Amino acid sequence: MIEAKDMHKYLRSGSESWYPVEIAESFLRSSMDLTDEEFKALRSALEDALYQLMAMAQNEYNHDYWRVLWNALQNLMERGVLGN
């Protein structure tokens, strides 16, 4: 388990930033075979969830684990793991 004092190691230091819609589309393209209609519906729902996550990560009063999760998604995008 990660100790709170070590959480800073997992905060993002990269310079590139990805928008929730880009993350949502990459995630859906790399993980599912969907019709256009299904893709649009799921993209919208996932994008909304990612905007909520981003807001939680940006709020300094929330726990660092929100930032770690957001940063992990950013890093996956940066490295092409989610397959643009």
Rg (CA), the chain: 14
Find the angle CA(21)-CA(22)-CA(24) to the nearest 5 degrees.
60
pTM score: 0.73
pLDDT interval class at 73 (50, 70, 90): confident
Residues 27 and 80: their CA atoms lie apart, in Å, by 11
pLDDT interval class at 61 (50, 70, 90): very high
Residue of 37 and 33 predicted with greater confidence: 37
pLDDT interval class at 23 (50, 70, 90): confident
